[in-house]
């Protein structure tokens, strides 16, 4: 625990902002999950409603300094792509592909074998 008065104040304010930020991020995540559920059910009204709410929350988070601008932009872009899949006539499997959790592809390491050339000594 800090002894200096300004450091004590800083601990208090950082704790307040931490709690505010975590609750706001949780609200964003739950709204995006509701959007994905509405998308799987092919509910256009619910999907549009949650899309607009999610975009609004992301923009507010950027203005409050909770999320970086590019992070919010990336999330909005991904939501818009999923929404376009619902609007355009496609199959159910494409919707399921877009709503799955994005995982990073595994990179396979290839081991190069070097051939040693044998030299004949005479």
Which residues span the domain enclosing 62? Answer: 5-99
| Structural domain contains residue 43 | yes
Whether 101 has a pLDDT exceeding 60, the answer reads: no
CATH number (domain holding residue 49): 1.20.58.110
| Structural domain contains residue 92 | yes
| Structural domain contains residue 77 | yes
Task: Give the largest CA-CA distance in the chain.
Answer: 85
| Structural domain contains residue 9 | yes
The answer to whether the beta carbons of residues 31 and 57 sit under 8 Å apart is yes
> 0.75 exceeded by the pTM?
no
| Structural domain contains residue 104 | no
| Structural domain contains residue 110 | no
Q: What is the tens place of the pLDDT at every residue in 32-68?
A: 999 999 999 888 899 999 999 999 999 999 999 999 9
* Four-residue CA torsion sign, 68, 69, 74, 80: positive
How many domains, in total, are found in the chain?
1
Q: Find all residues with CB under 8 Å of 54, minimum gap 6, and list them.
A: 28, 31, 32, 35, 75, 76, 79
| Structural domain contains residue 39 | yes
Q: What would the mean pLDDT of 93-121 be, rounded to a whole number?
A: 62
């Amino acid at each position: 625990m800090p002894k200096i008065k300004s450091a004590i104040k800083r601990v208090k304010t950082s704790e307040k902002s931490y709690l505010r930020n975590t609750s706001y991020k949780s609200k964003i995540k739950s709204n995006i999950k509701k959007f994905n559920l509405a998308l799987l059910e092919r509910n256009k009204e619910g999907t549009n409603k949650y899309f607009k709410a999610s975009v609004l929350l992301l923009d507010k988070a950027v203005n409050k300094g909770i999320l970086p601008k590019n992070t919010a932009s990336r999330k909005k872009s991904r939501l818009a792509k999923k929404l376009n899949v619902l609007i355009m006539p496609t199959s159910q499997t494409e919707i399921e592909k877009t709503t799955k959790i994005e995982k990073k592809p595994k990179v396979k390491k290839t081991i190069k074998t070097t051939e040693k050339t044998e030299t004949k000594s005479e």
